[in-house]
Structure 1
Amino acid sequence: MTMPATFAELTKLQEDRLPATLAAAAASPFYRDRVGKDLRDLPLTTKADLRDAYPFGMLAVPRERLATYHESSGTTGIPTSSYYSAADWEDLISRYARMHVGIGPSDTLLVRTPYALMLTGHVAQAGALACGATVVPADNRSAATPYATVVRLLHDLDVTLTWSLPTETLLWAAAARQAGLRPGHDFPALRALLVAGEPLSRAKRDRIAQLWQAPVVEEYGASETGGLAGECPHGTLHLWADRAIFEVLDPETGRITPDGAGELVVTPLFREAMPLLRYHIGDRVEVTYRDCACGWALPAVRVLGRSADASPALEELVFRLPAEYGVLFWRAKRLPAGLRIQIEADAWYADAAAKELAATVESAYQVKVVIEALPPGSLVPPRVLTAGPEVMKPRGLFDADEDWDRALRYY
């Protein structure tokens, strides 16, 4: 897929495609009486609208043309439906395959994001297969692939690429150490860690890359839309504005602009089964139109998380602690008088880690902070990292010394 060479060319591409997008949307029950000629005259489509339209109120093609049905994880409320035709899947795959590190027949991609009803694992698998790669489906919602199994697969199968939440890679590093393996040394085939699904601070990204001695490549998207942005070879996250129109909502004023800081609004341009017009995702972003050394005439984006989520900025301070302190895991709680933060740190550096983090957080937030530096294994117990799979098929007959409470259920 050829990228636009200039921002003017990008604008023309969007303008040329928009009439077909509006016409497709008019075929769905939700948009039938809402669509006009000017996109900017339309109200925003919200997650509440998608929930109210459950399950097929957004459908714009006959049911016979659907290829897959999905639902979001529901992390911010009731799950929303999304569905894709075969043509929609061609678009999803093409966007995933834009990874600048490349995906090819010599690659083995370990997919450690949810399958089931969510989209992310299925997109990664389809995209990798389309590029000729081997896929290892290590779904992170299945008891059949605990962390010890993931580490074994990474090592024994010479996995070259992984697809996961950023935090997953830290858990793998801890599990590898529990197994007597060294991240960054005993996994020589690993050439990149592909991540998405949570805001990623620069300090955490650098720590992951340092641990695994492999570049971290970020993507951004949603179940309702598929991939929306990808990273160029120069480390800039670019919105796929040749596949969608992006806008930024200022939640304070209600003003909507093509760039700036605010909440992301997206109109996919090549969506057939479930067109979305001015869909308000709700993620806080900062969008800029500027030249990039990669040559892509696509806007740059910084994803800052949900509007009420301050954890990415706090996480940046946690991972600025020196690597030798051994801090991989942390948690924080808001208190009436300030913040309580717990970190795991090597015993030798525990006091230094607590003092340094307290000073930086108090300076940044002007609040009282209580830091507790706990021994490794306090926040992520070793049993979580070393447990084997506990999976059995449903059965009816058990021996006297067996746990028959597991009858008829998968674990």
Structure 2
Amino acid sequence: MSLSEKIYNHSPVLLQNAMVSIYGWRWNRRRFGGIFEKELQGYKQREKFTAAQWQEYTSLQLSSILKHALVTVPYYREKWMQYGLTTEQINGITPETINRLPLLSKEDLRKYGKSTLLSNQIQKGGSFFSSSGTTGTPTSILFSENMHQRWSAAYEARVRNWAGVDRFMRRGMIGGRRVVPDANAKRPFYRYNATEHQVYFSAYHISKQNAANYLDAIKRYKLDYMVGYAMSNYFLARFIDEQGLKAPQLRAVITSSEKLTHEMREVFQKVYGCKTYDGWSGVEACGLVSECEHGGLHISPDVGLIELLDKEGNAVSPGEQGEVVCTGFLNYDQPLIRYRIGDYMTLSTRSCTCGRIMPLIEEITGRIEDVVIGKDGREMVRFHSLFTGMPNIIKGQVVQEDINNIRLNIVSEQPLSDGEKDILKKKVYSQLGEVNVQIFEQKEIFCGINGKFRAVISNVKRGSDR
């Protein structure tokens, strides 16, 4: 834990709000300065592309990132040469022939992500951003300032703007940051980022008895829209509805990170009186799928090339589900080429009435992980995020045995130190309060009978005796 985090965790709410606002100011400058406006206009203009224009554009972007990776990234140069590929063959690869290149696994990204998977021509302002992901494998991605602005422009154009909102409007966010660090904290269960007119809600205190405090913030700050974890936003809306509380009408709910169901959309419509917009991306920022105003889930071809593959590594047909493999076009400091991100999608068989010639996804299958239930009834998802920022951990799994017992299954490079174990336990306590935490170090964590890894398993069901 950094010094600033220690200071934040022990500060009163007013000071925490000030610290969140200062962080928001710095974050705002990093994302929306520099080349942001130019990139934003580019994304909007390309939405009018014809199929031929998209083909030409993606071919040029792919060629550019492959040539850059071959010359400046040792990992790819060595790997591709081991596969017997010549420089001429690599330079001649197109979106149709990209399957000649080997796949990049999360394990390789974790292992080489801060060494040979980096370009030797890194741009200024680089920072690593971490994610454990639903695979339970912690990874870190390097973002330069320019890269961050390109990605922020894509999100503004294809996510916010398609949902009828923008970065200047007042928004509520439910994400993974522990803005309310104490599991046993009293209200308020949010902090206010005055710089960006953002209320950051705790994802770890959502319960029936706390829902009114969340709703008070929505009203007090006159929020225009909600964003963040699909399940956490759903839990909040459901608790508001179950208690008969009246929420103001919002412009949109924009969800991420988990599968959005028809039931969730209905609850958001009932509680907030607005449409919900689904989407898919990730910390890796090598692909983007977002929902347009006509309900179509579109791939953004100018963010990255997305392949959907079957178990044999062949491209699936429309209507079939495939594993998502991404080649990003935005990050030249750490190119991700044919990266197995670990999610699943189904390719659509139809076109969209919006008229945009951008590939359609029928369904973002993703992963539906279990919900961890607190003693007071709070419901939490993305619980695997407690492995973030712990480079010694190769893979981690959270198992809630019962309301009082949490089991952590860990695969690590080296045996966990007492300090690392203490950090993990404190992270659990910060979300659940005093529970019994057992840590089991293992050589491997096996997949379920369907072949999919479950990062979170809970044996506690909603409404069970506590």
Shorter-chain TM-score range: 0.5 to 0.7
Of 179, 200, 210 in structure 2, the residue corresponding to residue 137 of structure 1 is: 200
Q: Distance in 2 between matches of 1:103 and 1:200?
A: 20
Q: Distance in 2 between matches of 1:148 and 1:62?
A: 51
Q: Does 1:169 align with 2:241?
A: no
Of 246, 250, 272 in structure 1, the residue corresponding to residue 332 of structure 2 is: 272
Determine if contact 1:18/1:269 at 8 Å carries over to the other structure. yes
Supply the RMSD in Å over aligned alpha carbons: 3.4
Matches within 5 A, 1:41-80: 41-62=100-121, 65-80=124-139
1:174 to 1:270, Cα distance in 2 relative to 1, 3 A: closer
Q: Does 1:288 align with 2:348?
A: yes
Shift of 1:34: 3.4
Shift of 1:113: 1.2
Q: Aligned residue for 1:256?
A: 315
Q: Distance in 2 between matches of 1:379 and 1:151?
A: 25
Shift of 1:63: 5.7
Which amino acid in the other structure matches residue 246 of structure 1? I
1:167 to 1:147, Cα distance in 2 relative to 1, 3 A: same
Q: Aligned residue for 1:404?
A: none
1:44 to 1:165, Cα distance in 2 relative to 1, 3 A: same
Q: Distance in 2 between matches of 1:274 and 1:15?
A: 20
Of 255, 274, 297 in structure 2, the residue corresponding to residue 214 of structure 1 is: 274
SS at match of 1:205: helix
Q: Does 1:82 align with 2:141?
A: yes
Q: Aligned residue for 2:221?
A: 157
Determine if contact 2:247/2:271 at 8 Å carries over to the other structure. no
Q: Distance in 2 between matches of 1:310 and 1:112?
A: 17
Q: Does 1:102 align with 2:164?
A: yes
SS at match of 2:163: coil
Q: Distance in 2 between matches of 1:169 and 1:243?
A: 27
Q: Aligned residue for 1:120?
A: none
Q: Does 1:28 align with 2:73?
A: yes
Q: Distance in 1 between matches of 2:323 and 2:60?
A: 26
Matches within 5 A, 1:219-230: 219-225=279-285, 228-230=288-290
Q: Aligned residue for 1:340?
A: none
SS at match of 1:59: coil
TM-score (structure 2 length as normaliser): 0.57
Q: Distance in 2 between matches of 1:56 and 1:138?
A: 36
1:46 to 1:153, Cα distance in 2 relative to 1, 3 A: same
Q: Distance in 1 between matches of 2:129 and 2:107?
A: 17
Which amino acid in the other structure matches residue 329 of structure 2? L
What is the count of residue pairs matched by the alignment? 299
> Unaligned regions of 5+ residues in structure 2, if any?
1-42, 81-89, 179-192, 371-378, 382-460
SS at match of 2:76: coil
Shift of 1:281: 1.7
Q: Distance in 2 between matches of 1:380 and 1:107?
A: 42
Q: Aligned residue for 1:112?
A: 174
> Unaligned regions of 5+ residues in structure 1, if any?
117-127, 312-328, 332-375, 382-411
Which amino acid in the other structure matches residue 117 of structure 2? M
Q: Distance in 2 between matches of 1:242 and 1:230?
A: 13
SS at match of 1:256: coil
SS at match of 1:262: strand
TM-score (structure 1 length as normaliser): 0.64
Q: Does 1:238 align with 2:315?
A: no
SS at match of 1:114: coil
Question: Which string of whole-angstrom CA distances, capped at 9 and with x for unpartnered residues, describes residues 293-339 of structure 1?
Answer: 11111111121124xx699xxxxxxxxxxxxxxxxx9x9xxxxxxxx
Determine if contact 1:84/1:272 at 8 Å carries over to the other structure. no
Q: Aligned residue for 1:17?
A: 61
Shift of 1:232: 0.7
SS at match of 2:335: coil
1:171 to 1:226, Cα distance in 2 relative to 1, 3 A: farther
1:163 to 1:79, Cα distance in 2 relative to 1, 3 A: same
